[in-house]
């Protein structure tokens, strides 16, 4: 389907270091660097087709686990293009280590420091001041996710699901998987 | 005062295996992001954090580069077990979901255009959005005892929401801009608190 890519060690190394750079820039989560990954993998290097890029993100969003796993799928598809399953797994490794390693080391060191100095006024002020903003950003993230539902006038059943879910989860301890299951079933039968 | 109320019912991870398994369970429930599940599992079920502590840790996880939930796992694993704890938490978070994900990727090519599948993903997406909103609302209760006061917290929260959700400003600017204003305000509040 796709012409087989010729990827040398220097290409893999380039991929690795590029993702390591993105890792340090990924404030707000890996998804914020997704546009640059598209630019690099699809436009600049031509290692990935547009369809593979889009599918990688869509599949990762619908599967369980951290969203950052879309990066694993990008690597998987690059590897597949370069020659097959084993290279696919190698691509997963290269991309995931690249995107995770630098930020993780930074977070580990910072978290140790801030925990050891948690009585410092500056550290306490940071946590106190950031609390309302962090909570607002969570609600904003939910809002942005919900806007995928589309025009509220036409797609009101989807919006209704979002609102009812928010109320149920806010007010009860019903297991989250029940809600996801119900949402999936309603969608499967075309009711929403 | 609030230090005693914090320590009452908190527990901590028992072992590396406990970390690994807890994060596996957590990650496998996280459709469309692990955030909502993280609050449920870590605060309400495992009780490794109180709501207040969860928000505090989340603030650090959010401001740093890297996926928030991964950062949170590093912070928990590292605090109790050092580098081995980090590796156990991350391995738990990634191993099982990665296997599931690659299996789905192999199937996806065949079923991506099935109307049932498309509909189910749409329905689950709508639910996932509601989950995230609800998590924010649940955590908002942790602000009750905040030294910043209701009015200031409300104003900062509202500004943050408008900037990100409605104006769609890049997260980095909101965190740096509004975040530093909030930190300066909090710093001054803490000074008054200490003087009083």
Burial of A115 (0-12, 13-18, 19+ CB in 10 A): middle
My answer on whether A36 and A104 are in the same domain is yes
Whether A165 is covered by a domain: the verdict is yes
For residue B146, pLDDT over 80 is answered with yes
Q: Is A64 left (phi over 0), alpha (psi -120 to 50) or beta?
A: beta
My answer on whether A40 and A90 are in the same domain is yes
Q: How many helices and strands (H and E) does chain B possess?
A: 8, 0
Q: Name which of A24, A67, A126 is nearest B59 (Cβ-Cβ).
A: A126
Whether A122 is covered by a domain: the verdict is no
CA distances from A87 to A7, A8, A54, B9, B39 (A): 10, 12, 20, 48, 37
Cβ within 8 Å, pair A130-B28: no
In this structure, are residues A134 and B55 in contact, taking their beta carbons and an 8 Å threshold?
Answer: yes
Cβ within 8 Å, pair A145-B182: no
Residues of A in contact with B93 (CB under 8 A): 65-66
Question: What does the alpha-carbon distance between residue A151 and residue A154 come to, in Å, rounded to a whole number?
Answer: 6
Question: What does the alpha-carbon distance between residue A43 and residue A61 come to, in Å, rounded to a whole number?
Answer: 23
My answer on whether A106 and A153 are in the same domain is no
Whether A3 is covered by a domain: the verdict is no
Cβ within 8 Å, pair B134-A169: yes
- pLDDT tens digits for range B89-144: 999 999 999 999 999 888 877 787 788 888 888 888 888 889 889 988 988 988 88
Boundary-marking domain end, from A77, A112, A147:
A112
My answer on whether A18 and A74 are in the same domain is yes
Nearest CA to A93 out of A73, A107, A108 is that of A73
My answer on whether A69 and A137 are in the same domain is no
For helices A9-25 and A85-116, angle between their N-to-C axes, nearest 10 degrees: 30
Q: How many domains does chain A have?
A: 2
Cβ within 8 Å, pair B98-A32: no
Q: What is the pLDDT of residue A55?
A: 81
Q: How confident is the model at residue B187 (pLDDT cuts 50, 70, 90)?
A: very high
Whether A91 is covered by a domain: the verdict is yes
Q: What is the pLDDT of residue A109?
A: 95
Note whether B107 contacts A: Cβ–Cβ < 8 A. no
Q: What is the pLDDT of residue B32?
A: 63
Question: What pTM value is reported for the model?
Answer: 0.82
Q: How confident is the model at residue B3 (pLDDT cuts 50, 70, 90)?
A: very low
Q: What is the pLDDT of residue B4?
A: 43
My answer on whether A19 and A99 are in the same domain is yes
Q: What is the pLDDT of residue B100?
A: 93
For residue B190, pLDDT over 80 is answered with yes
My answer on whether A35 and A102 are in the same domain is yes
Q: How confident is the model at residue B8 (pLDDT cuts 50, 70, 90)?
A: low
CA distances from A186 to A65, A81, A108, A161, B192 (A): 22, 36, 42, 10, 54
Per-residue pLDDT averaged across B69-94, rounded? 94
Nearest-CA distance A6 → chain B (Å): 23
My answer on whether A102 and A150 are in the same domain is no
Q: What is the pLDDT of residue B1?
A: 39
Average pLDDT, chain A: 89
Residue of A nearest to B34 (CA): A66
Note whether B191 contacts A: Cβ–Cβ < 8 A. yes
Q: What is the pLDDT of residue B86?
A: 96
Cβ within 8 Å, pair B131-A142: yes
In this structure, are residues B186 and A129 in contact, taking their beta carbons and an 8 Å threshold?
Answer: yes
In this structure, are residues A146 and A160 in contact, taking their beta carbons and an 8 Å threshold?
Answer: no
Q: Name which of A28, A111, A165 is nearest B131 (Cβ-Cβ).
A: A165
Boundary-marking domain end, from A84, A112, A140:
A112
Whether A4 is covered by a domain: the verdict is no
Whether A75 is covered by a domain: the verdict is yes
Of A2-11, B13-22, B63-72, the poorest mean pLDDT is in: A2-11
- Per the structure, the complete domain to which residue A107 belongs is given by 9-112
Question: What does the alpha-carbon distance between residue A179 and residue A141 come to, in Å, rounded to a whole number?
Answer: 19
Per-residue pLDDT averaged across B20-32, rounded? 89
My answer on whether A107 and A135 are in the same domain is no
Q: What is the SS3 assignment for B65?
A: strand
My answer on whether A18 and A107 are in the same domain is yes
Residue of B nearest to A80 (CA): B106
Whether A179 is covered by a domain: the verdict is yes
Stretches in chain A below the pLDDT threshold 70: 1-3
Whether A121 is covered by a domain: the verdict is no
My answer on whether A165 and A70 are in the same domain is no
Boundary-marking domain end, from A64, A82, A112:
A112
In this structure, are residues A137 and A131 in contact, taking their beta carbons and an 8 Å threshold?
Answer: no
My answer on whether A70 and A138 are in the same domain is no
């Amino acid at each position: 389907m796709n012409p087989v890519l010729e990827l040398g060690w220097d290409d893999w190394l380039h991929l690795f270091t590029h993702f390591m750079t993105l890792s340090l820039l990924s404030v707000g989560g890996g998804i914020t660097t997704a546009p640059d990954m598209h630019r690099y993998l699809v436009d600049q290097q031509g290692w990935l087709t547009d369809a593979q890029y889009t599918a990688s993100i869509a599949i990762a969003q619908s599967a369980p686990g951290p969203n950052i796993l879309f990066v694993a799928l990008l690597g998987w598809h690059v590897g597949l293009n370069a020659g097959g399953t084993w290279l696919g797994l190698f691509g997963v490794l290269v991309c995931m280590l690249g995107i995770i390693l630098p930020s993780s080391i930074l977070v580990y060191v910072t978290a140790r420091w801030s925990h050891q100095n948690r009585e410092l006024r500056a550290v306490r002020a940071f946590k106190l001041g950031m609390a309302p903003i962090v909570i607002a950003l969570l609600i904003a993230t939910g809002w942005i996710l919900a806007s995928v539902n589309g025009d509220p006038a036409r797609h009101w059943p989807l919006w209704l699901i979002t609102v009812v879910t928010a109320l149920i989860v806010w007010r009860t301890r019903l297991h989250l998987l029940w809600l996801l299951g119900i949402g999936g079933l309603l969608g499967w039968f075309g009711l929403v | 005062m609030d230090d005693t109320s914090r320590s009452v019912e908190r527990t901590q991870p028992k072992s590396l295996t406990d970390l690994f398994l807890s994060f596996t369970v957590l990650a496998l429930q996280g459709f469309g992001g692990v955030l909502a599940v993280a609050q449920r599992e870590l605060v309400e079920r495992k009780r490794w954090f109180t709501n207040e502590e969860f928000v505090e840790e989340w603030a650090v996880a959010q401001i740093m580069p890297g996926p928030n939930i991964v950062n949170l796992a590093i912070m928990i694993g590292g605090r109790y077990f050092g580098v081995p704890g980090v590796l156990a938490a991350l391995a738990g978070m990634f191993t099982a979901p990665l296997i599931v994900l690659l299996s789905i990727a192999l199937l996806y090519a065949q079923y991506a255009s099935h109307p049932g599948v498309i509909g189910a993903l749409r329905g689950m997406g709508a639910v996932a959005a509601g989950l995230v909103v609800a998590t924010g609302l649940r955590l908002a209760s942790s602000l009750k005892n905040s030294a910043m006061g209701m009015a200031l917290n409300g104003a900062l929260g509202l500004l943050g929401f408008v900037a990100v959700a409605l104006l769609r400003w890049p997260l980095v600017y909101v965190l740096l801009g509004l975040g530093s204003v909030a930190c300066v305000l909090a710093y001054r509040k803490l000074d008054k608190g200490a003087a009083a």
